[in-house]
Structure 1
């Protein structure tokens, strides 16, 4: 796991200043505390920061191919590198190191851009071909590792593992894209289709880009996609056996490391499954860690301790309290772009805890997206069945009218919070799901925006990203399409961004075995009846893991790994909530109605409404604008 950066001149082979590459790498030094390297040639420059995991003493980067024609910088891990090494050596390739980086170079020289389909793992890499004067950039299938790009005024393209690497380049403009603000308010993060800064883009997951000197910058090429269009047949017992085999393979392949290794353990189904399979494959106790909260209703550390005791792990626990709010500025700097997933802070804390004893930690991320584990999947499935029997001409007027007048009852028991469901049923499946996953629905955003911002935003609406993708998805049902969107938008934009930035901030490599692409491809072919039964998501996964885990772990209500910000904003952080309406950076933008912001805080602190999520969004937006120096 590392950080990469570089510059490539598209028009002519201008010299690249090594000091400029070095500054870009220095900005992401936290990603690679164990080593650094810079290489330049006419027209190109590559930089690398290394976190040593495999072949600790060897594999320095930038790395040259044996013939000196190609240079590589690479961030990530290739889990099948030993098999690829044997195959490539049999066809004449020579290797000087024991790591996976050199395998990528050899694969590129044998298969060219098609090499990416042979790589199993998480990666973002750049290969410069000195003879052809081309730069090849690639990102892994699901977007575990990030890659930012920007075309600059001198005709060059700059790239880096994080936005801060590009911000270190003096020619990068720091102008906020107003459409990214619309996206952020809707989703709580800036999706991979956009960046907070104009002119900066993210290479999409499962895409590559071949830049050629003397030619204009092309569009990225999609080299992998997930399809829900096929349905696997077979007995449940056979499906269980295949799933268990794939999970074991995914976990054991990610346990290969030349440094101490452990796991995050929340006590939920997914992390508990990973730890169970690690314990099965390990001769020594697995090192595990978890985070607790000072609000009992959100504290899962007791469940984690039970699993740790069951599998005899070396377990450590730490608690998060309102005092940790003081780290909000650190979080904003960590993510560069505004990022409001409230679980980022405890994720960072559990990464810090893990890093005290290990350098690699396995997580349970990905199973909810692949196996339909979110509560919203259950609602989507049920709503689609209702849509199928009620014509749109009836649903629109009836449910739309009811939803418009139904109160937003955050204080009520969950079954009585029907406003979102009614409004969702009024539209088609795609429109309904887009509303279901919005943090700030369109009505709230409209109320918060100033007239000036509405003019800047124009006709763009964030929901179009989800609705367009769902309608074009290779899928059979609304549930398929919802999961497709989660895998293509939510997973890389939120979940994987959160884990990458918080783990890299402390020099920890996080690995996600449940995002092994073979496991994801298998899950996408499962009949809906084994993904979801009644109101139970992840049915086949839970059924498979019953041989390892107790039912009260497998079937307890999903809790989620979030901070108790609702209670904090009414208690120790009430003053912070009130300050949001007068936040200097937000006020200077002119994007918002400050009286509306103040009312949001007052209504929340008084208990009239639960506005914790939007308040946290606004707080993180304010801090991010301050960090970027755009406000």
Structure 2
């Protein structure tokens, strides 16, 4: 696991100053404390920061191919590199190291841009081909590893693992994209389709770029996609056996490391499944760690401890309290862009805890998106049944009117909070799901925007991206389309960004076995009833893991890694909530109606409504803009 950065001149191959690339890499020192390097040639410069995981001393980067015709910088892990190495040796490739980096170079020399289809793993890399004078950039299938890009005024393209690498370049414009603010307030993150800064983009997951001197910047090429259009047939027992095989392969392939390895353990289905399979494959106790909260209703640490006892793991636990709120500036610095998933705080804490004893940790991320594990997936399937029965001409006016009249009952038991469901049913499947996964609903955003910002935003609405993804998905049903949107939008934008930044901030490599692409492709082919049944998501996965985990773990209500910000903002952090409305940084932007925000703060503190997610969003926006030094 590492950090990469570089500069490539698209037009004239001007000299690249090594010091400039070095400064970009220095901004990524946390991603690679074990080594660094810079290489330049006419028109190109590549830089690398290394966190040593495999072949600890033998794979420094930037790395040249044995024939000297290609140069690589690479962030990630290739889990099938040993098998590829054997194939490439038979072809005639020579190897000087025992790591996976040199395998990528050999794969490039043999297959060119198609080499990415042979790689199983998480990666973002750059290869400069000295013969063709081309630069090849690639990102893994699901977007586990990030890659930011920015065309600059001198005709070059700068790239780096994090935005802070680009911010180290003096020619980068620091101008906020107002449409990114709309995206951020809708989702709680800036998705991969945009960046907080105008002119900065992100190479999409499963895409690559081939750049040539003297040619304009091309559009990225998609080299991988997941399809929900096919349905796998077979007996439940056969599908269960196939799933178990894929799970074992995914976990064991990610246990290869030349440094201490462990796992995050929340006590939920996914992390418990990963730990169960690790324990099965390991002769030594698995090192596990978990984070708890000082609010009992949101604390899962007892379940984590139960799983740890079951598999005899070497378990460590720690608690997050409101005092950790002081770390918010550090969180803003990790992400560069505003990021409002409040679970970033406990995720960072669990990464810190893990790093005290291991350098690599396996996580349970990805199963909810692949196997329909979120409550919203169950609701989506049920709502689509209603949409299939009641025509839109009747459903739209009926449920739309009821939804507008129904109170926003945050205080009520969950079954009585029907407003969101009614408004969702008034829309089509894609529109309803886009509303369901949002942080701040369109009408709430409109209520806090200033007139000037509404003019800047124009006709753009953040939900359009998800609606377009769903309508164009290779899928058969509304549930398929919802999961496709999650894998393409939510997963790389929120979940994987959170894990990458918080783990890399402490120089920890996080691996996601449940995002093995073969496992994802298998899950996408399952009939709906193998994903959602009797009001339960992840049906086949839970059935498969009953061999290892008790029903108390598998079938308890899904809780998630929830930070108790609603309670904190009404208690020890109430004064911090009030400071949001008077933020000088937010006021200077002119984007928001601070008077309206003040009203929402008081409504939340008085427990008349739950605005905690919006307040957290605004707080993180304030700190992020301060970190960027823009507002």
1:385 aligned partner: 385
Partner secondary structure for residue 258 of structure 1 = coil
The separation in 2 between residues aligned to 1:584 and 1:109, in whole angstroms, is 55
Query: CA RMSD, aligned part only?
Result: 0.4
CA drift at 1:600: 1.1
CA drift at 1:358: 0.1
Residues 325-357 of structure 1, C-alpha deviations (whole Å, 9 max, x = no match): 000000000000000001000000000000000
The separation in 1 between residues aligned to 2:427 and 2:404, in whole angstroms, is 13
CA drift at 1:130: 1.4
Matches within 5 A, 1:203-222: 203-222=203-222
2:442 aligned partner: 442
2:354 aligned partner: 354
1:155 aligned partner: 155
2:24 aligned partner: 24
The separation in 2 between residues aligned to 1:241 and 1:507, in whole angstroms, is 36
Residues 42-71 of structure 1, C-alpha deviations (whole Å, 9 max, x = no match): 100000000000000110000001111110
1:122 aligned partner: 122
The separation in 2 between residues aligned to 1:597 and 1:16, in whole angstroms, is 47
1:374 aligned partner: 374
Residues 428-475 of structure 1, C-alpha deviations (whole Å, 9 max, x = no match): 000000000111000000000000001111110000011011000000
Residues 14-43 of structure 1, C-alpha deviations (whole Å, 9 max, x = no match): 000000000000001000000000001110
1:411 aligned partner: 411
The separation in 1 between residues aligned to 2:316 and 2:444, in whole angstroms, is 41
The separation in 2 between residues aligned to 1:598 and 1:69, in whole angstroms, is 61
The separation in 1 between residues aligned to 2:69 and 2:455, in whole angstroms, is 51
Residue 195, structure 1, aligned to residue 207, structure 2: no
Residue 237, structure 1, aligned to residue 237, structure 2: yes
The separation in 2 between residues aligned to 1:611 and 1:157, in whole angstroms, is 41
CA drift at 1:549: 0.2
Matches within 5 A, 1:245-284: 245-284=245-284
The separation in 2 between residues aligned to 1:13 and 1:574, in whole angstroms, is 56
Partner secondary structure for residue 547 of structure 1 = coil
CA drift at 1:131: 1.9
CA drift at 1:534: 1.7
The separation in 2 between residues aligned to 1:49 and 1:572, in whole angstroms, is 40
The separation in 2 between residues aligned to 1:596 and 1:50, in whole angstroms, is 47
Residues 405-449 of structure 1, C-alpha deviations (whole Å, 9 max, x = no match): 111000000000000000000010000000001110000000000
Matches within 5 A, 1:473-512: 473-512=473-512
Partner secondary structure for residue 210 of structure 1 = strand
The separation in 2 between residues aligned to 1:497 and 1:377, in whole angstroms, is 22
2:515 aligned partner: 515
CA drift at 1:133: 1.2
Partner secondary structure for residue 122 of structure 1 = strand
1:538 aligned partner: 538
The separation in 2 between residues aligned to 1:582 and 1:106, in whole angstroms, is 57
Matches within 5 A, 1:313-328: 313-328=313-328
Residue 430, structure 1, aligned to residue 462, structure 2: no
Residues 562-583 of structure 1, C-alpha deviations (whole Å, 9 max, x = no match): 1100000000000000010011
The separation in 1 between residues aligned to 2:107 and 2:600, in whole angstroms, is 55
Residues 205-230 of structure 1, C-alpha deviations (whole Å, 9 max, x = no match): 00000010000000000000000000
Residue 71, structure 1, aligned to residue 71, structure 2: yes
1:86 aligned partner: 86
The separation in 2 between residues aligned to 1:435 and 1:534, in whole angstroms, is 24
Residue 97, structure 1, aligned to residue 80, structure 2: no
The separation in 1 between residues aligned to 2:38 and 2:355, in whole angstroms, is 27
The separation in 1 between residues aligned to 2:380 and 2:558, in whole angstroms, is 17
TM normalised by structure 1 equals 1.00
The separation in 1 between residues aligned to 2:205 and 2:580, in whole angstroms, is 34
Residues 213-251 of structure 1, C-alpha deviations (whole Å, 9 max, x = no match): 000000000000000000000000000000000000000
Partner secondary structure for residue 546 of structure 2 = helix
The separation in 2 between residues aligned to 1:584 and 1:378, in whole angstroms, is 42
The separation in 2 between residues aligned to 1:534 and 1:401, in whole angstroms, is 30
Residues 233-277 of structure 1, C-alpha deviations (whole Å, 9 max, x = no match): 000000000000000000000000000000000000000000000
Gaps of 5+ in 1: none
The separation in 2 between residues aligned to 1:4 and 1:262, in whole angstroms, is 25
TM normalised by structure 2 equals 1.00
Q: Number of residue pairs matched?
A: 631
Residue 577, structure 1, aligned to residue 577, structure 2: yes
1:9 aligned partner: 9
Residue 468, structure 1, aligned to residue 468, structure 2: yes
The separation in 1 between residues aligned to 2:284 and 2:31, in whole angstroms, is 28
Residue 172, structure 1, aligned to residue 172, structure 2: yes
Matches within 5 A, 1:548-559: 548-559=548-559
The separation in 2 between residues aligned to 1:584 and 1:48, in whole angstroms, is 38
